Structure 1
Amino acid sequence: MKKISLLLLLFVIGCTTTPVDTEERISANRQVVKDLFAALKGELEKALAAGGPAAAIPVCNAKVPEIGKTFKAKYPDWTIGRTSLKTRNPKNAPDEWEKDVLQRFEARKAAGEDPKTMEYSAFVEKDGVPMFRYMKAIPTADACLLCHGKVLLPEVAAKLDELYPEDKARGFDLGDIRGAFSFMQPVSSRN
């Protein structure tokens, strides 16, 4: 039965998507990444300038969900998030598909590919619904190391321990894959 369902899904996707459709979806997802990254970076830069890394952590803790809600309102059919193999918040743990893509990103990095260029997309079935999924790697930049690096200021480590008791998102080096933006939308969605 699963084979029949998979064949039917591939047939339906093949009939409803074209290379142009796929490129349009990828382009739309790239734009959402760009906009989401700009919003997150803007809040982080303001918080860092106002009080340094330890003071920025609670701002990120509160602002990131607000930014997510804004994007969810703009793209109501989409699932929009960030995930990692080493999450700060366990609510952002990768599902099996995301975990596989993150591991592929790591293999590509090990083979010499620049994480800044890494993205992956696929048409999949989730709970019986044809979906388009997209992930874009998030490379670790200098500013990320303030809260995600191997050496943290004591006040930063203390604030992270307080707000994120299950934090695993430390120990990164510049250029490491910090995680990825992960988006999912029904194939029937056109926004």
Structure 2
Amino acid sequence: MKKISLLVLLSVVAFNVVSAEISDDTQKRIAENRQLVKELFAALKGELGKALEAGGPAAAIPVCKSRVPEIGKIFEEKYPGWTIGRTSLKTRNPVNAPDEWERPVLQGFEARKAAGEDPKAMEHSAFLEKDGVRVFRYMKAIPTQEVCILCHGKQLIPDVVAKLEELYPEDQARGFEVGDIRGAFSFMQPAPARN
């Protein structure tokens, strides 16, 4: 009987140690992803700010189309093995359409906002298998800011509409108001297999 009790006790202790390691690993990964959000947001905001100053909203649209993917590639070089992107339920570029994991997360963000949660604090993460490989996925909501409505709002000026129709014929990313969830940063990184 003592042997069984000792085995049960050791099993519980071992389980708690593994759980703590998983929790520590998850927290570390969340912290890394939060830092990446800050860095990426600052880079994108800086690029957008320069374009807006140089030529206004219509001139910023081509910069967003060309520079945003380039900035994403720079960050993927800085974070080897990571997939770094943005997605939305209402995409401007169909290449950024949500995948089967991202879509329900975005819908969950919308439900949380409808329940009164501040989008600035919304994030979601999970370990999962993708193509037979264990990965860590992270999403952080992007709240619509005042500057966003210049090109994503309900009332767009004619030259912005013309440039959007020229560069993004499948654009769905209009009609937003300040505080709406514009979309989310979406990151995926390799995660070591569990022992």
Shift of 1:188: 2.4
1:130 is paired with a residue of what secondary structure? Answer: strand
Distance in 2, matches of 1:155 and 1:61, equals 16
| Structure 2 residue matching 1:169: 3-state secondary structure | coil
Tell me which residue corresponds to 1:59.
63
Q: 1:153 to 1:37 in 2, by over 3 A?
A: same
Deviations 1:89-132 (A, max 9, x none): 00000001100100000000000000000000011111111110
**Is 1:18–2:32 an aligned residue pair?**
no
Q: CA deviation at 1:76?
A: 1.7
Alignment of 1:2-151 (within 5 A): 18-151=22-155
Q: Please report how far the alpha carbon of residue 47 of structure 1 lies from its aligned counterpart in structure 2 after TM superposition.
A: 0.4
- TM-score between both structures, scaled by the size of structure 1: 0.89
**Cα distance between partner residues in 1 of 2:99 and 2:61:** 25
Alignment partner for residue 164 of structure 2, among 149, 155, 160? 160
Q: What is the aligned-residue RMSD (CA, Å)?
A: 1.6
Q: State the match for 2:175 in structure 1.
A: 171
Write the letter of the residue equivalent to 1:47: A
Q: Distance in 2 between matches of 1:156 and 1:45?
A: 16
Provide the rounded CA distance (Å) in 2 between the counterparts of 1:72 and 1:16: 29
Deviations 1:75-98 (A, max 9, x none): 121010000000000000000110
Unaligned residue ranges in structure 2 (runs of 5+):
1-17
- Matched residue, 2:3: none
Q: TM-score, normalised by structure 2?
A: 0.88
- Could you say which residue in structure 2 is the equivalent of 1:8? none
Gap regions ≥5 residues in structure 1: 1-13
Q: Distance in 2 between matches of 1:20 and 1:126?
A: 22
Measure how far apart 1:17 and its partner are.
Answer: 5.0
Please state whether the residue corresponding to 2:101 is helix, strand or coil: helix
